[in-house]
Amino acid sequence: MDKKKVLFISQEVAPFLPKSEIATSIRNLAQGIQEGGKEIRVFMPRFGVINERRHQLHEVIRLSGMNMIIDDNDHPLIIKVASISAARMQVYFIDNEEYFKRKAVVTDDKDNEFEDNDERSMFFCRGVLETVKKLGWQPDVIHCNGWMTSLMPLYIKELYKDDPHFENTKVVYNMFDKGFNTNWDDRFSEKLKFDGFSEEVVKDFEQVDYKSLSEAIVKYVDGLSVGSEELSDDLRAVFDGADCPKLDFVAEESHTKEVSEFLDKIIEAEVFI
């Protein structure tokens, strides 16, 4: 029997970024899922604060070289990879000089959120999908972590819905309380339209704050889980109101087991939408 394939995409993964709820959780979960018998791939953005020499990142030439158009501008896609030797696990990095070279993650040195974070999210999600296609690796389920991954369900269910590479791929969005405070660009819905999304789809993204983005995205997921021990009242309402299979927060000692079983349930279920 073929191993089930899980694609982890995360805004942060330890040890490449400082320890955080997301970074630590996904580092441990991915290793646990792999050791439990599933085949995994892990992707994150190659933020400029990541020390490439220390972590021995290197470019994967055969996967790099694509250009992706975001808001009518060409952006070269560079793919790098590094290993977490203790976990026998590789992590792929989505890189682009304009979006990810800056020596920061999602805010500047004055803690102001970058105005192009919406485009960085678009580039990251599309970059992951195009790279996975180049790898020839078909995930059974994509496990999304952090708001920079939140557009993945939308891409899978709308823009890539007729792509045979992803015809059986399910998507789980893992909700974290860590969001963003500044609304995304007022032109975000126009950027989605330029990317190929229909008028009907983009109407839900005309004004994007963290809550409204979460509300819009859960319409496209096959499963929803909670990664934070505490969620704000707004996010808790989004989770409780979602019409899909759900897994609430699970304590660390049983986290891997319960998430693995939840992913099995999602993979084996009928397509949600």
Q: Which long-range contacts (CB under 8 A, 24 or more apart) does 230-236 make?
A: 230/177, 231/175, 231/177, 232/177, 235/175, 235/177, 235/179, 235/211
Residue 134: CB atoms within 10 Å: 16
**pLDDT greater than 50 at residue 202:** yes
Smallest CA-to-CA distance from 21 within 249, 271, 213 is with 249
Nearest to 263 by CA among 38, 10, 88: 38
Write down the domain spans for the chain.
Answer: 5-268
pLDDT per residue over 205-252, tens digit each? 998 999 999 999 999 999 999 999 999 999 999 999 999 999 999 998
214 closest CA partner among 266, 169, 154, 166: 154
Supply the mean pLDDT for the chain.
Answer: 95
Are the beta carbons of 10 and 145 closer than 8 angstroms?
Answer: yes
pLDDT-based confidence at residue 63 (cuts at 50, 70, 90) = very high
Per-residue confidence at 18, pLDDT binned at 50, 70, 90? Answer: confident
What kind of fold does domain 5-268 have according to CATH?
Rossmann fold (3.40.50)
Q: Which residues, listed in sequence order, are joined to residue 41 by a DSSP beta bridge? A: 7
Q: Rounded to two decimals, what is the model's pTM?
A: 0.96
Longest dimension (CA), the chain: 52
Q: Answer yes or no: is pLDDT of 270 > 80.
A: no
For residue 108, give both structure tokens. Answer: 């500047």
State the Cα torsion 272-42-17-209 to the nearest 10°: -20
Q: At 273, is the pLDDT very low, low, confident or very high (cuts 50, 70, 90)?
A: very low
Look at residue 1 and tell me whether its pLDDT is greater than 80: no
Mean pLDDT of 17-25: 93
Please state, in angstroms and rounded to a whole number, the distance separating the CA atoms of residues 90 and 83.
Answer: 4
